[in-house]
Amino acid sequence: MFAGLDQPELEALASRAVERHFAPEDSLFWEGDRAEGLYLLVEGAVKIFKTSPNGREMMLDLVTAPSSIAELPLFDGGPYPASVRAVKPATTLFINKTDFHQACRQNPDLPLKILAVVGRRLRTLVTVVESITFGSVTKRLAKLLLDLSEEQKGRGIGLTHQELASRLGTVREVVSRNLARFRVQGFIRIEGREITVADPAGLRSEMEAES
């Protein structure tokens, strides 16, 4: 995002950035809070989620470092549209909105890079809507596990059964039953709270069988 900035511009931003640390389950901010600036995720992972009036959570995305969070409110002036919570110990750099706007005026390429990030976020949201609307939970869970495994480059997926259920718009018990079956069939391995895809082809066959 900041590749086009020269050294003085980078130093100006860095001098204003505030380092913040979050333990798992700590909230960075809540939906509806006034958007004060941009978070840069330096270490760890966070989840972006919405909360229904009855308290049910719907996870929109899992973001791992390095990345940025809360880009859209920098430009539309609105509040944070969703909540963000750490799922692993997280280190962030917070840049005030005024300082970021100044950097944008000095470097016109920076807003274009932000738009690219926002575009990726929108594509993720479209995928979430599709996963909730179409197909059985079994099919959607198989696809989600494959997508997350690809994002993690084959490493373990550190999400609880409840967090997976939240992502799919279903209940934990249904996800747990499907995960247990996938495990027996050798499609996945479960160690602690980490899920590893052991047989991608097997999960894809589940998707095709459910289609």
| Segments making up each domain of the chain, as ranges | 7-131, 136-210
pLDDT for the residue numbered 76: 81
Cis preceding-peptide flag for 24 (omega within 30 of 0): no
pLDDT above 80 for 44? yes
pLDDT above 80 for 6? no
pLDDT for the residue numbered 109: 77
Q: What is the pLDDT of residues 66-123, one digit of tens each?
A: 988 888 888 888 899 899 999 989 999 999 998 888 888 877 777 777 777 778 777 7
- For domain 7-131, give the fold: Jelly Rolls (2.60.120)
pLDDT above 60 for 210? no
Q: What is the pLDDT of residues 14-37, one digit of tens each?
A: 888 999 999 999 999 999 999 999
The structure tokens 């959570």 sit at 57
CA angle 88, 91, 96 (to 5 degrees): 130
DSSP 69-82: E--THHHH----SS
- For domain 136-210, give the fold: Arc Repressor Mutant, subunit A (1.10.10)
Residue 52 binned pLDDT confidence (cut-offs 50, 70, 90):
confident
pLDDT above 70 for 211? no
Q: Give CA–CA dist 42/65, Å, rounded.
A: 5
Identity of the residue numbered 31? E
